């Protein structure tokens, strides 16, 4: 599979498009003033304990207090509280040695929030979910710092290897390596990308993460809550960190600073891949050049068309998302069951893409076309699971119910991407009415007459293609263009522009500068 990352930098922020085999599968927006992104670390002040919810509201500087549930406290919450206070009040120039930190006993799973956070202390927290709708951020005290091959979790000594590494020998090998190089007081999760990597590569990744933890420790010194302690990497580098593999063959950027940062980052984590980064300055917008704008217009909106003629209807409510599959006009054959299966399999591939593209989370209910045979229902379930496999968000797919519905749950980390693909008609400005085209010709001629009487020469009139055809139609000496030439004694060039709306026109001088009327 060919993977490409196209990065469009604009004043209001950065847009990142991930293409798989030229097809848009993920679209990320990173606002210029972005804050409270998933993974960011904050020093928060506990404001309110809610025993009924077994949760706390924490001030992290957002307009609404963030939410911290007991289940997100981490077994090492007491160690984290002790570390936070110790790091804030630490006066030593180098900072205290974390390897000598005495870890506190774990909290019990069925405990109460007011037993752990009594006294409303300051605590180091990590953003688990970005602010969504009217809700503040969701927090976690299970601090984790992800690298390319490993993830470190402070205060425990556990080594875990990704279940996606199936070889028992490889899992044992990685476990031994990490146990040998792991510093004290850090737990390590070995990621799938570590498969086949040597000790030096794993050690380098681990050392960088330990260094990041030391930076956090330094940033806490003298900090006053609420305060940001560490930002997650930029979206670009975090996507590259999680996705960069042999399938990745191109990263295109239209901003020199992001280009340099991206290239340096890849040079550091995968020197052999540094050449895949290229700088784009072709004039045409970068998303237009790579066909992303067109794909966005086609993929977002209530109706999504499929190549076969089938289509999806996607509706959103507060509690869930509903997707209806319709067969459209195409028939694969006379067998109704086979038609339904073919359409459903095509829809499954597009639905999995839509979930990633729009970043839909929570409960998704899909109404597939009814099928009678259990074998076909099983095939559809297997196809859906396979299509969802590349999705990095945690998800679960249930078999088709008696009512022919499939239920999917998908981790919700941030607000869904919602792009309005409809545009206000530039001709009527949304009123549904435009001035008569009969009067348009008179209006153009009136402006032309005014310009010529004010000594303008070598004029060019630019109009919509339909208007261009109307003004230049007819045999020689009979078109409007020729009539104007005879009437005003000079030639007027007429040029078409597909970007103009039907009743739009502009005059340009011989230097191709627009003449403002």
Give the pLDDT of residue 15. 86
Angle, helix 437-453 to helix 480-488, in steps of 10 degrees:
30
Closest CA to 44 of 25, 61, 21, 69: 61
**Domain 3-34+235-291 falls under CATH 3.30.420:** yes
Rounded to whole angstroms, the Cα distance separating 502 from 467 reads 7
Strands 145-146 and 150-154: antiparallel
- Assigned CATH class of 423-515: alpha beta
Q: Do residues 369 and 426 lie in contact, with contact meaning Cβ atoms separated by under 8 Å?
A: no
Angle, helix 336-358 to helix 292-299, in steps of 10 degrees:
120
Record the pTM. 0.66
Rounded to whole angstroms, the Cα distance separating 269 from 264 reads 9
Does the pLDDT at position 225 exceed 90?
A: no
pLDDT, tens only, 299-354: 888 889 888 888 999 998 878 899 999 987 655 556 888 889 999 999 999 999 99
Does the pLDDT at position 420 exceed 70?
A: no
Rounded to whole angstroms, the Cα distance separating 49 from 58 reads 9
Does the pLDDT at position 430 exceed 80?
A: no
What is the distance in angstroms between the CA of the first residue and the CA of the last residue of the chain?
54
**Domains of the chain by residue range:** 3-34+235-291, 40-230, 301-410, 423-515
The helix or strand, by DSSP H or E, that contains position 305, with its residue range, turns out to be: strand 303-305
The SS3 of residue 253 is strand
Kindly report the CATH number that applies to the domain delimited by 301-410.
Answer: 3.40.630
Burial of 293 (0-12, 13-18, 19+ CB in 10 A): middle
* Averaged confidence pLDDT in the chain: 86
Rounded to whole angstroms, the Cα distance separating 344 from 183 reads 51
Angle, helix 199-220 to helix 168-181, in steps of 10 degrees:
50
Give the pLDDT of residue 410. 92
pLDDT, tens only, 95-126: 788 888 899 999 998 889 988 998 888 999 99
- Assigned CATH class of 40-230: mainly beta
pLDDT, tens only, 367-378: 999 999 999 999
Which range among 240-249, 406-415, 463-472 shows the weakest confidence by mean pLDDT?
A: 240-249
């Amino acid at each position: 599979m060919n993977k490409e990352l196209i990065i469009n930098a604009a004043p209001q922020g950065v847009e990142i498009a991930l293409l798989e085999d030229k097809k848009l599968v993920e679209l990320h927006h990173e606002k210029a003033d972005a804050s409270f992104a998933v993974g960011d670390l904050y020093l928060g002040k506990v404001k309110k304990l809610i025993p009924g919810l077994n949760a706390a509201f924490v001030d992290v500087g957002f307009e609404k207090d963030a939410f911290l549930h007991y289940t997100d406290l981490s077994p090492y919450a007491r160690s984290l509280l002790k570390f936070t206070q110790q790091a804030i009040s630490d006066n030593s120039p180098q900072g205290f040695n974390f390897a000598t930190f005495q870890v506190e006993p774990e909290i019990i799973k069925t405990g109460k929030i007011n037993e752990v956070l009594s006294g409303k202390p300051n605590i180091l927290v990590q953003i688990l979910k970005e602010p969504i709708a009217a809700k503040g951020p969701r927090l976690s005290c299970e601090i984790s710092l992800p690298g390319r091959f490993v993830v470190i979790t402070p205060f425990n000594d556990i080594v875990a290897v990704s279940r996606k590494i199936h070889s028992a020998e490889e899992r044992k090998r990685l476990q031994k390596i990490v146990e040998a190089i792991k510093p004290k007081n850090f737990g390590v999760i070995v990621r799938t990308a570590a498969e086949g990597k040597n000790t030096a590569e794993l050690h380098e990744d681990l050392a960088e993460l330990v260094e990041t933890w030391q930076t956090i420790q330094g940033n806490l010194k003298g900090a006053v809550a609420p305060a940001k302690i560490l930002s997650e990497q930029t979206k670009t580098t975090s996507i590259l960190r999680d996705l960069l593999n042999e399938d990745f063959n191109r990263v295109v950027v239209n901003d020199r600073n992001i280009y340099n940062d991206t290239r340096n980052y890849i040079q550091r984590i995968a020197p052999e891949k540094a050449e895949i980064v290229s700088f784009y300055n072709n004039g045409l917008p970068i998303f237009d050049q790579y066909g992303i704008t067109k794909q966005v217009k086609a993929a977002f909106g209530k109706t999504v068309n499929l190549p076969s003629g089938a289509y999806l209807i996607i509706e959103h409510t507060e509690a869930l998302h509903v997707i209806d599959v319709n067969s459209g006009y195409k028939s694969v054959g006379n067998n109704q069951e086979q038609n339904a299966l073919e359409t459903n399999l095509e829809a499954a591939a597009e639905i999995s893409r839509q979930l990633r593209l729009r970043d839909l989370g929570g409960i998704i209910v899909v109404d597939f076309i009814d099928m009678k045979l259990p074998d076909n229902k099983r095939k559809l379930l297997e196809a859906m699971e396979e299509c969802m496999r590349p999705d990095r968000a945690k998800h679960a797919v249930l078999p088709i119910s008696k009512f022919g519905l499939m239920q999917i749950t998908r981790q919700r980390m941030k607000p869904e991407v919602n792009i309005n693909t409809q545009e206000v008609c530039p001709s009527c400005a949304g009123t549904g009415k435009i001035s008569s085209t009969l009067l348009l010709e008179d209006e153009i001629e009136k402006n032309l007459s005014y310009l010529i009487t004010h000594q303008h020469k070598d004029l060019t009139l630019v109009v919509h293609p339909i208007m261009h055809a109307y003004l230049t139609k007819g045999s020689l000496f009979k078109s409007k263009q020729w009539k104007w030439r005879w009437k005003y004694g000079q030639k007027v060039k007429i040029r078409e522009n597909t970007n103009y709306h039907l009743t739009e026109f502009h005059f340009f001088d011989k230097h191709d500068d627009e003449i403002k009327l």
